Amino acid sequence: MGIVSPGFQGRPRPAGPALPPGQYLTEDFPVLSAGPTPTVSPQDWEFVLATETGAEYRWSWPELMALPQETPTVDIHCVTRWSKRDTSWQGVSLDTLLDGVDTAAGYAVAHSYGGYSTNLPLTDLRDGRAWIAHTYEGRPLPAEHGGPARLLVPHLYFWKSAKWVRGIRLTTTDEPGFWETAGYHDYGDPWREQRYAGD
Amino acid sequence: MTETSYLDGNMLDGPLRELFAVDLSAATARCQTCGRAGPVGGLRVYSHAPGLVARCPACTAVLLRLVRTPDRAWLDLRGATFLAVPVPPERAGPPPG
């Protein structure tokens, strides 16, 4: 039991659970982008899951929409230090997409329209922790936030949640992506503050 | 649709001065993707990102990425086949003999 009364603190305590170290809360949704926003219409959109043996699994937009949909509400954490609570999404779990995919790969690389890429262990895409998200706060995901669909992996820094995702390639070796080859951490766990290579 | 704005490559002058003694905004860079050669100052720099990303104004391919961590600057130039940097003319050597 504490002996210091919270009533003596100068500021109100932030509501909810703690944030990862070094993060601050924001109410808006900052747009970060390393290049021009790709224009991809749903009718042209395709998602390709490729295994380490070259086998490919493809989904068109109607096929993605026909899969079981989930509605995660999650906190997101950007490596530039903003965090946003209780963001609500709709999308398809990677568990659904990986179901029946025969692979011995340990790693995955997400690729985007526009050329972006990011890597993560395949295990981080499983067990209800990753989605292909197409709806944000009840509306189609805006292009500046990665629409028509983005990867959503909220337990890692948000650069891992690739905008404009077009496919995931499963690999037996770790292949660092766009920011991971330029000084950012290979894994990017916000709770361990893994911002930069060597953290 | 909201388009993320970019800055012209002259903004790289400050960040690159931390690494180089010369003004690289006056240097010429050649895009590995489309072959266009032009001044670094003419690249399109996307700065609303975890680092600075400089792209070719013709084909939008990435020529340069610069990430500043607390104790290191990471410069990735794999998208540029060369940087031609203006230098003072070589002075004539001492006369022979």
The pLDDT score that the predictor gives to residue A16 is 65
pLDDT below 70 — which residues of chain A? 1-16
pTM of the model: 0.89
End-to-end CA distance of chain A: 35
> What's the CATH code of the domain at A167?
3.90.420.10
Average pLDDT over residues B10-32: 90
How far is Cα B63 from Cα B81, in angstroms, rounded to an integer? 9
Better-scored residue on pLDDT, A61 or B24: A61
The pLDDT score that the predictor gives to residue B22 is 85
Flag whether A23 is in a domain: no
The pLDDT score that the predictor gives to residue A5 is 44
Number of domains in chain A: 1
Flag whether A49 is in a domain: yes
- Please give the residue range of the domain that contains residue A185: 40-192
Written as six digits, the tokens of B43 are: 């690249």
For A144, other C-beta atoms within 10 Å of its C-beta total 16
How far is Cα B22 from Cα A124, in angstroms, rounded to an integer? 44
Flag whether A16 is in a domain: no
Check CB contact under 8 Å for B49 and A115: no
Check CB contact under 8 Å for B67 and A179: yes
Check CB contact under 8 Å for B46 and A35: yes
- Name the B residues in 34-63 with CB < 8 Å from any A CB: 46, 48-51, 53, 55, 60-62
Q: Residue B96: pLDDT above 80?
A: no
> How is chain B split into domains, by residue range?
7-84
List the one residue out of B60, B83, B50 whose CA is nearest residue B3. B60
Cβ atoms of A93 and A70 closer than 8 Å? yes
- Residue in B2, B4, B67 closest to A184 by CB: B67
pLDDT 10s digits, B43-85: 999 999 999 999 999 999 999 999 999 999 999 999 999 999 9
